[in-house]
């Protein structure tokens, strides 16, 4: 088991990539905290426990500092340590048709960017005290390039997650804490997202033509990337970015 003896927090774990990651980590023997603002996270924790794993659900607004303080305290009280933090929670840059909305900018930066800072800030003291840990931030290929019909706040927030990963890797490497980022490409929709599945046929064809592998990604493909970076197999990898995009970036 690749995560035996480890405790992992996965944010945004009520659905999609977060749920897939939480379930995979549990299958690899991690004890998992399913953290999400949505109460659907309880069903994910229940499914893990029913499958023989060990998980708890914790309701979390990732943009609120006091909520992070409570999460860290509860996790340590329950499990005694925190080995892995997966900062996965995020919101879409196409949910609001007004791509110049200041309110949407603020929300994107809070949920996609500030949350990564807060999670890192509050988990590092625990990891430092126990001799190390691994943080994996789920960013996006949108961190690398501008995109039409996507709010600029989405690109900015995902770029913030990317660069914070590198900065945190530098700041905390001497504490035995590794920090890396994952950059998914076209994936199943976040909540409230307009996706290729809802586009006219010609639009879908154009998107898939850009992807060398010719298809959208699967959430479990991101989960396996997170598993590698969180595991001891990646013990000399820190400050790196891993694209999970079917070759999209290579075809720029």
Which of 57, 154, 224, 236 is an active site residue? 154
C-alpha 231/C-alpha 30 separation (Å) is 10
Q: Which residues contact 187 (CB under 8 A, 6 or more apart)?
A: 16, 17, 216, 217, 218, 219, 222
167: Cβ contacts below 8 Å, ≥ 6 apart: none
Q: Which of 83, 94, 63, 98 lies closest to 3, judged by CA?
A: 83
| String of DSSP letters for 151-202 | -HHHHHHHHHHHHHHHHHHHHHGGGTEEEEEEEE-S-SPPTT---GGGS-HH
Quick one: which H or E segment has residue 95? none
Q: What is the distance between the alpha carbons of residues 174 and 118, in angstroms, rounded to a whole number?
A: 20
* Rounded (5°) CA angle 126-16-224: 65
Question: What is the rounded distance in angstroms from the CA atom of residue 43 to the CA atom of residue 178?
Answer: 30
Answer yes or no: 224 catalytic. no
Q: What span, in angstroms and rounded, lies between the C-alpha atoms of 92 and 252?
A: 22
Sheet holding 7-11, edge to edge: 54-59, 31-36, 7-11, 84-87, 133-138, 177-184, 241-244
Residues designated catalytic: 154
């Amino acid at each position: 088991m690749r995560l035996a003896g480890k405790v992992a927090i996965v944010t945004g774990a009520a659905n999609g990539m977060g749920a897939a990651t939480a379930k995979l980590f549990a299958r690899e023997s991690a004890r998992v905290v399913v953290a999400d603002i949505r109460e659907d996270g309880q069903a994910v924790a229940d499914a893990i426990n029913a499958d023989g794993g060990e998980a708890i659900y914790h309701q979390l607004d990732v943009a609120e500092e006091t909520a992070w303080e409570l999460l860290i305290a509860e996790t340590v009280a329950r499990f005694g340590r925190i080995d892995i933090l997966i900062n996965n929670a995020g919101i879409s840059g196409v949910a609001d048709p007004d791509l110049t909305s200041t309110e949407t900018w603020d929300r994107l930066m809070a949920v996609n960017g500030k949350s990564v800072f807060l999670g890192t800030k509050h988990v590092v003291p625990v990891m430092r005290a126990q001799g190390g840990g691994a943080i994996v931030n789920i960013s996006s290929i949108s961190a690398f390039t501008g995109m039409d019909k996507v709010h600029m706040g989405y690109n900015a927030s995902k770029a913030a997650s990317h660069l914070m990963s590198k900065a945190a890797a530098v700041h905390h490497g001497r504490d035995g804490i590794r920090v890396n980022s994952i950059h998914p490409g076209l994936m199943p929709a976040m909540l409230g997202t307009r996706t290729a599945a809802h586009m006219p046929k010609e639009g879908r064809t154009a998107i898939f033509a850009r992807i060398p592998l010719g298809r959208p990604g699967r959430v479990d493909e991101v989960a396996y990337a997170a598993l590698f970076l969180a595991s001891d197999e990646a013990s000399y990898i820190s400050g790196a970015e891993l694209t999970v995009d079917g070759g999209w970036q290579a075809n720029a």
